[in-house]
Structure 1
Amino acid sequence: MEESACLCGVGSSRGCRKRQRPAEKAAADGKPAPAEKHVEADAAVRCCADSGGTLSPMPSLQAPRCSLQDLPLEILVEIFASLPGTDLSSLAQTCTKFHHILHIDSIWRRRCREEFGVCENLQNLETIGMSYREVYAKLFPYRNILGLWQLDTEHYRTLVNVVLDGLCITGWTYRPSLHTHVGGPIHFKPSFRIRLTERRSATVECMEGPNSSPHYSHMQIQKDRFTTQCKKTDHRTDLPTQLREEGGLVLEDRQWYDCLTYRRLYLPPNHPDDLIRPGLFQDYYDDFGLKIAMLSFHGKYARVTKITGLSKKTLEIHLMRRIQLRDGEIFRNFNELSRVVQEMDEQVIREQQQQKQEEGTEESEGHGWQSPAQPRVGESGAAAAEEQPVPFVLPVGVRSRDQNYPRTCRMCFYAVDTVTLLGSAYPRRFPAIFILFDENHFGFIWLEVKYFFLYNRVQETFQNVEAPSPQAFLEMLKNIKASTK
């Protein structure tokens, strides 16, 4: 009876007795206590809450009821459509009403468009009996493979761009050419595709092989990498055959592995202090067509990382060791140019050895280029753009495949070219000169072989290539470097 009295707000329950005494005392004295009515009611609520009971408040004290379910359907659809698809499955489990609302296809149409770039017309989907909800469910397991990847076989590395083509996910593999200028467009051929129009589940098809006839393939997706495996074993890379036809070269065909592994590639982040905008560049490094390399900046150093090709190569540019130009005179005299670079190289080697002794490390290469905390170069990108260009001519005796290079340059720096040749387990180190021409061109002279390489910016744009963090980009470069050993 005491508990019932407490729930009703009257009676003399033990927990409420102390709080009722002021009101009882006022009633006993015959004095009204209107100011204590609300205090008494609040005390009853607290009392019952402490005792684990529930109290039905008076109508005048009831708070206005507000629920997400009371919103109009149009507003709920707009709210749900703006949420990430990963949150909608949990939302559908909250109540029956939300579960039914999340079957409205306009919600999933917006999620497909914003998260994956699907631009299909709803009528096109209706003709094949699919909804955007089904499309999203089939795309979701493959969401992490959209973007740029590096395919690294035993002898050759190449670039793969995985994009959404209509209702298919296609992996386009870079196809080098001997007849394309470094400033020309890059060419791709389809390597695999994932068909999303199947009723039950998406189908992965390999498009490699002598006749490029699609056939079943298995795909396994992991963090920052994925693998494909085919039932066929007669795959041959098109690269040697193509180059033999175009350039008259003889190179033995190499068999594709049944299981291919792709590593994630991010484009370098851009910083206002960078000399030029980082990104992908093309060059002719060897006799087997155009190659792609990545230019990135790391404080006092810049790095050119080779992405495709036979040999594995990195160029480290010492941005604090600038070679002063005198109206192109230093380029006309190769001996003078070689002497200047050789002096810098000897000084760098001494500093590396000293640093190695002080730190007690086994490897002193890199000079902290992996650390994002390095101070930026004193010369900003804007200053580099305002640098007055000077005439540029190749020194006598220096060869180049591409003679259509810019005739003026802005800056030159000491650099070190590290190359792991095909069949070699250890990299070799070569002093070089990095030459900045303009925003879209740079080059370097390899002094030992007296050869000039010209790089031109890749003009194609790619999606899903931003690194989630600076640390993720540095980790990617570290993995590429580790794969060269």
Structure 2
Amino acid sequence: MEECACLCGVGSSPGCRCRQQCQGPAEMAAAEEKHVEANAAARCCAGSGGIESPMPPLHCSLQDLPVEMLMEIFASLPGNALPSLAQACTKFHHILHTDRIWRRRCREEYGVRETLQNLEKIGMSYREVYVKLFPYRHILGLWQLDTEDYRTLLNVVVDGLCITGWTYGPSLDTHVDGPLQFEPSFRIRLTERKSATVECMEGRLRRPHNRHMQIQKDRLTIHCNKTDHRKDLTARLREDRELVLGREDRYQYDCLAYRRLYLPPSHPDDLIRPGLFQGNYDAFGLKIVMLSFHGKYARVTKITGDSIGMLEIHLMRRIQLLEGKIFRNFKQLCRVVHEIDEQVIREQQQQQQQQEDGTEESEGHGWQRPAQPSVGESGAAASEEQPVPFVLPVGVRSIDQNYPRTCRMCFYGVDTVTLSGSAYRKRFPGVFILFDENHFGFTWLELKYFILYGRVQNTFQNVEAPSPQAFLEMLKDIHSEPP
């Protein structure tokens, strides 16, 4: 990536011939200026019988702008667009060798926070750092371990002058408001002059050793030449979470496959800001879920854990709180939810029958999102809703007793759970409880169990979906069985 001396190592233009013998910058600029002058002369002579016009039309060129203004413009452009500008003229070529431009691109695109003083000590420039990072730009962000046994989270970031992959490790003692706990999984050093190697940082002895990485579309595969990762990770799961894995032979941790995760896009009419939340499902630690909004529905998708499931909240089926009295009468709460559940099942059966008969088209129930959300409550309305007292109904269990004592809204919801390695799905109707901007909960009526979710406070980079459709495709992929 660094063999090109004229900045075309990070996305050269189609006309670049830097691997061959080419003209110097000055000759290229002179040829370009002659070409511009010839075109201007032709335009002046056109329509005048070949007589040159004494007053050529005035024009403004980008080259006429001050250097400081050009530096500001170039620094705001994507880094892979700058090599083409460098070939336009000698002035642009010299300006684009200014390290201030590449420092901004490194910070905005990759999150590099290294100081220029540290780079000077090792003899590197920000342009060289950008060139080093460019081949690995597609692995930065969030990834989910693609396995049918236990799914976990991988966060790949630029850490100083290294690219580090951090694996999420659930904590037994952390409250839902605590930060996520991460352990290093692999590292790529950017200071190496030759092609960088992927160093594995897992295993019982934690001694770095080489890994092979393969990047495909929304897929990341890491193969390690150390074959005892399977035993190491299984032992760590037992030690940290007291979880005995019954199918050790199905774990192949010397070859890990990940799928890319995008964070959900936000809309002004969303009930609260979507994103990642964590909750205490059981005694084995916190698990991560993703809250997203889809018009009349909201979805809570499980990201980590040993089960595949989706909690669907029907935002058009709100449950009246009756100033909090609904929580004190569990039988009444169950009766209200069961009535809504029966109505939902009947409507879905009728809709399915109409679709089979060809009398009605699908309304987009499921993954699609209407252009204008149909929810009657907006995010502003949810924040202005007067809170009412909240208590766990008698007989309902919960691991987390430190839950908010007031809530704002309740909706009917249904949780569909698929255990790992099984095609059997179980649906659990219940109550979705909105406490505030950063907390919500769900009560399984059949199981008499309540889970509190708190917003993940960690910040992540390179997690925006390129399009709404790409985010929906990712959600479908999460609910599919791993290959």
Pairwise same-fold verdict (TM > 0.5): yes
Distance 1:158 1:169 in 2: 19
Q: Is 1:343 the equivalent of 2:339? A: yes
Number of the residue aligned with 2:52:
57
Contact kept in structure 2, 1:236 and 1:253, CA below 8 Å: no
Residue 406 of structure 1 aligns with which residue?
A: 404
Hey, what's the Cα distance between the residues in 2 that align with 1:210 and 1:361? 60
Work out whether 1:301 is the aligned partner of 2:258: no
Alignment of 1:135-284 (within 5 A): 135-236=129-230, 240-242=234-236, 244-246=238-240, 248=242, 250-251=244-245, 254=248, 255-284=251-280
C-alpha contact 1:372 1:470 (8 A) present in aligned 2? no
In the TM superposition, residue 389 of structure 1 has moved relative to its aligned partner by 2.1
* Letter of the 2:212 counterpart: H
8 A Cα contact 1:210 1:236, kept in partner: no
After superposition, the Cα gap between the structure-2 partners of 1:234 and 1:56, relative to the gap in structure 1 and judged at 3 Å, is: farther
Matched, 1:334 2:327: no
Residue 391 of structure 2 is matched in structure 1 by 393
* Equivalent pair of 2:309/2:479 in contact (CA under 8 Å): no
Q: Which aligned pairs between 1:460-471 and structure 2 lie closer than 5 A? A: 460-471=458-469
1:235 Cα deviation after fit: 0.8
Q: Distance in 1 between matches of 2:424 and 2:408?
A: 34
Given that 2:367 and 2:472 are in contact with CA atoms closer than 8 Å, whether structure 1 keeps it comes out as no
Asked if structure 2 preserves the Cα contact closer than 8 Å seen for 1:405 and 1:454, the reply is yes
Identity of aligned residues (%): 75
Amino acid at match of 2:125: S
Q: Structure 2: which amino acid aligns with 1:290?
A: L
1:283 CA displacement: 0.6
| Structure 1 residue 286 displacement after superposition | 2.8
Match of 1:460, SS state, is coil
Alpha-carbon distance between aligned partners in 2 of 1:405 and 1:68, rounded to the nearest angstrom: 60
Cα shift at 1:469: 2.5
1:310 to 303, 306, 322: 306
Q: 1:107 aligns with which of 89, 95, 101?
A: 101
Answer with 95-104 or 218-227: which moved more. 95-104
Higher mean C-alpha displacement, 359-368 vs 315-324: 359-368
* Aligned with residue 443 of structure 2, among 420, 445, 449: 445
Q: Counterparts of 1:74 and 1:272 in 2: how far apart (Å)?
A: 38
Deviations 1:204-242 (A, max 9, x none): 222222222221112222232322222222113766544
Q: Paired residue for 2:415?
A: 417
SS in 2 for 1:321: strand
- Residues in 1 aligned to 2:332 and 2:384: alpha-carbon distance in whole angstroms: 27
Contact 1:148 1:162 in 2 (8 A): yes
What is the CA-CA distance between 1:199 and the residue it aligns to? 0.3
CA distance in 1, matches of 2:254, 2:363: 36
Deviation at 1:175, TM superposition (A): 0.5
CA shift for structure 1 position 140: 0.8
- Write the distance in 2 (CA, Å) between the matches of 1:69 and 1:43: 21
Q: Cα gap change, 1:103/1:373 in structure 2, threshold over 3 Å: closer, same or farther?
A: closer
Cα shift at 1:419: 0.3
Q: Secondary structure at the match of 1:330?
A: helix
Alpha-carbon contact 2:165-2:186 (below 8 Å) kept: yes
Q: Deviation digits for residues 54-76 of structure 1, max 9, x if unmatched?
A: x6837x34556876556666665
| Stretch moving more, 199-208 or 89-98 | 89-98
CA distance in 2 between partners of 1:44 and 1:194 (Å): 58
2:183 maps to a residue whose letter is K
* 1:52 corresponding residue in structure 2: none
Task: Tell me the SS of whatever aligns to 1:144.
Answer: helix
2:116 is the counterpart of 1:118: no
Per the alignment, do residues 342 and 139 of structure 1 end up closer, same or farther by CA in structure 2, a change over 3 Å counting? Answer: same
Worse overlay, 337-346 or 115-124: 115-124
Shift of 1:472: 2.2
Q: Does 1:127 align with 2:125?
A: no
- Relative distance call for 1:238 and 1:462 in structure 2 (3 A) is farther
**Bigger RCO (CA 8 Å, 6+ sep):** 2
CA drift of 1:150 comes to 1.3
Return closer, same or farther for 1:94/1:380 CA change in 2, 3 Å cut-off. Answer: closer
SS at match of 1:284: strand
- Poorly superposed stretches of 4+, deviation over 6 Å: 41-44, 361-366
Letter of the structure 2 residue corresponding to residue 479 of structure 1: D
Q: Give, in whole Å, the separation in 1 of the partners of 2:75 and 2:314.
A: 50
Q: Judging changes above 3 Å, is the alpha-carbon distance between structure 1 residues 142 and 123 closer, same or farther for their aligned structure 2 residues?
A: same
Deviates more, 1:170-179 or 1:148-157: 148-157
Q: Measure how far apart 1:143 and its partner are.
A: 1.5
Tell me by how many angstroms 1:47 deviates: 6.7
Task: Measure how far apart 1:314 and its partner are.
Answer: 0.7
Aligned-pair distance for 1:454?
1.0
Cα distance in 2 for partners of 1:86, 1:202 equals 20
Query: Which residue is 1:455 aligned to?
Result: 453
Structure 2 unaligned regions, length at least 5 = 1-40
Mapped partners of 1:88, 1:361: distance in 2: 57
**Paired residues of 1:280 and 1:295 also in contact (CA < 8 A):** yes
Cα root mean square deviation, aligned: 3.1
1: CA distance between counterparts of 2:389 and 2:244? 40
* Superposed displacement of residue 293, structure 1: 0.5
Q: Which TM-score applies when normalising by structure 1? A: 0.82
Q: In 2, distance between residues paired with 1:217 and 1:412?
A: 48
Taking a change above 3 Å as real, the CA distance of residues 316 and 70 of structure 1, as seen in their structure-2 partners, is closer
CA distance in 2, matches of 1:395, 1:381: 27
From 360, 364, 367, the equivalent of 2:365 is 367
Q: What is the deviation of 1:251? A: 4.2
Matches of 1:471 and 1:250 in 2, distance apart? Answer: 38
Give the Cα separation in 1 of the matches to 2:385 and 2:372: 24
